[in-house]
Structure 1
């Protein structure tokens, strides 16, 4: 009986071996078979000359599908990092940005901080010297059981603009200062869609250049998210010592000259124009035309015309 029982046990065991061999252990590529991970590199090589990458920046990932789970946000340093998060499979908007002075970022929309209108002016104004914003956004597909290596190419999102005015005539030595503002600048920027919006104004604080080839001219430099709206217009006032002659109003449509301003923000843009004559009479307004890229010395004769109207 013992021998027969032993044979039965051996027989049953032999029958079980093939069945066990048919069950294969699943093979995974990563320790997280149901999720994906991201190793991110930030490329800062395309920012403007003389600018440096910020010490820290924010990385965020927002699921493209409304039904997906919440996204991911972290503050990182350095150019490479593995995001400390297990992502569910799906499509995401992955974006990175720094947080410069006077700019806030909500999602992929950057907004310039509001500024107090200059004396005598009304309407919405924004800060004229926000910090340098760099940002990147991309649509990515994250797969389960995968480790993704991605590169975020950081784009400069703020551009410097300098307007140079060269007064001329027999009252230039009586100029006390020039003040003004530029309309049609962008108050917001969706850097994922590349959409500049919320047209607003920015104050221009002109200062007299005292040395170099441009000595005697007046320059105002601002930093902008971009331009927005249908028109960009310079409104300026030349004020004279002792109020004599009376203040001269300057207006100029810069829509054409700034049409491509949002294109390459790494390169500062300078536009220069020359006031052909500074009138000595009162109640004049002036329009500067023929603005020239550069320092105001462009064109074959280095000047721009001015139309005066009583």
Structure 2
């Protein structure tokens, strides 16, 4: 009788273990995304498994095992393709056969990467601040010699630019590519814009082809390597490259040239 009572008393002292969540052996991830203006939908990847998200608060739908996990977040800009953690700028439709000339003004890529430590029976909360991964480049040439009205059109090709961006390492790369910014003339000013993942290769060359109203065609080769040497170090601030465009005149019928190059960071420039 005494033994039965003792066993009953011992059994009554055993309590069920109390857990904080419905997932005692796994952890959850909640992300607060500080979205850049104009960014709505995005992708979150954890250990290579991607899920579409939107809004400032995103709860990863799968529970994770305890330990460290790699996390990526990126938006979906027009003109870029993202696969296997690498963003690629798309080629221009007219040159897709050779794949060398990239879109000059794709949408802007934003991304963030981090490692998070997941704890069982808990929710880890992460703050993400996606950063701009593309830099705007503005060209502005002023015709200081010759009649600007003689210029019928200007075509430009910029070589030595990056075509890919690795999200995990946060770095541009790939083989050096080319792009063709759309140059236009307004009065004595010739301008163009480009949006680049960065520079690549040993040299950055801008080839300009000027077509004049009398049928004359001239090509100017411009080495911008030194001007773009630190281009990849500050994607947040647009860069402006300007110069004086000298075109043939009756007194100086030689070839067109560009002089007085200047490079400056411009915060308030509007890229069209």
Q: What band does the TM-score fall into relative to the shorter chain? A: 0.7 to 0.9
Is 1:53 paired with 2:35?
no
1:62-108: CA deviation from partner (whole Å, max 9, x where unpaired): 1xxxxxxxx53221221012222111123222111111111011132
Structural mapping, 1:151-170, within 5 Å: 151-170=127-146
How far residue 143 of structure 1 moved from its aligned partner, in angstroms, is 1.9
User: C-alpha separation between the residues in 2 aligned to 1:186 and 1:76?
Assistant: 28
> Which residue of 1 is the match for residue 225 of structure 2?
255
User: C-alpha separation between the residues in 2 aligned to 1:282 and 1:113?
Assistant: 41
Q: Is the 2:77–2:108 contact (alpha carbons within 8 Å) kept by the matching residues of 1?
A: yes
User: C-alpha separation between the residues in 2 aligned to 1:289 and 1:272?
Assistant: 8
Q: Is the 2:238–2:265 contact (alpha carbons within 8 Å) kept by the matching residues of 1?
A: no
Match of 2:26 among 35, 46, 53: 35
> Which residue of 1 is the match for residue 3 of structure 2?
12
The alignment partner of 1:15 has SS state of helix
Q: Which runs of 5+ in 2 are unaligned?
A: 267-272
User: C-alpha separation between the residues in 2 aligned to 1:294 and 1:28?
Assistant: 55
Distance 1:260 1:116, change over 3 A: same
Structural mapping, 1:1-310, within 5 Å: 8=1, 11-17=2-8, 19-20=10-11, 23-44=14-35, 47=36, 52-62=37-47, 71-116=48-93, 124-198=100-174, 199-210=176-187, 216-243=188-215, 246-276=216-246, 278=248, 284=255, 286=257, 288=259, 290-293=261-264
How far residue 116 of structure 1 moved from its aligned partner, in angstroms, is 4.9
Distance 1:141 1:265, change over 3 A: same
The alignment partner of 2:144 has SS state of coil
User: C-alpha separation between the residues in 2 aligned to 1:232 and 1:279?
Assistant: 29
- In terms of fraction of residues, the more strand-rich structure is 2
Give the paired residue count.
262
Q: Which runs of 5+ in 1 are unaligned?
A: 1-7, 63-70, 211-215, 296-310
1:180-237: CA deviation from partner (whole Å, max 9, x where unpaired): 1101111000122122112200002211124xxxxx1100111112222221111111
Distance 1:14 1:100, change over 3 A: same
Distance 1:83 1:190, change over 3 A: same
How far residue 285 of structure 1 moved from its aligned partner, in angstroms, is 6.6
Range moving further from structure 2, 247-256 or 20-29: 20-29
| CA RMSD of superposed structures (Å) | 2.5
Pair member with larger Rg? 1
Range moving further from structure 2, 184-193 or 270-279: 270-279
Q: Is the 1:110–1:189 contact (alpha carbons within 8 Å) kept by the matching residues of 2?
A: yes
How far residue 17 of structure 1 moved from its aligned partner, in angstroms, is 4.3
Q: Is the 1:168–1:278 contact (alpha carbons within 8 Å) kept by the matching residues of 2?
A: no
